[in-house]
Amino acid sequence: DAGITQSPRHKVTETGTPVTLRCHQTENHRYMYWYRQDPGHGLRLIHYSYGVKDTDKGEVSDGYSVSRSKTEDFLLTLESATSSQTSVYFCAIKGSDTGELFFGEGSRLTVL
């Protein structure tokens, strides 16, 4: 158990509303990631963080922002949700010694 939790696990919202997804870790790892998973696209990197207040964009960052004010939490925010952001969002942390990623169970977001 890598000690990673995502919340909420399921959310239904309307177009134009803000949404924040939270990723929490108990392991004190430096690297944290947000991916989205869609049929036919696999996993695509949205944003990732390599330390407190240190973040970088992935390949599908438009429409998303992130914040990491403390080591254990990495927040993903959709400022104004659109239907194209309906997806399953996965948070992951990188093992400090091994380089492998540990994934959360995912957050299913539906934007109506």
**Site residues for another protein per CB under 8 A:** 31, 33, 35, 40-45, 48, 50, 56, 58-59, 90, 92, 94, 98-106
CB of 101 to another protein, least distance (A): 6
CA atoms of 82 and 99, how far apart (whole Å): 34
Q: Which is nearer to another protein, 10 or 15 (CB)?
A: 10
d(CA 13, CA 109): 8
Rounded alpha-carbon distances, angstroms, from residue 43 to 70, 71, 96 = 25, 24, 22
CB of 31 to another protein, least distance (A): 5
Residue number with CB closer to another protein (11 or 31): 31
User: Based on CB atoms, which residue is closest to another protein, 81 or 92?
Assistant: 92
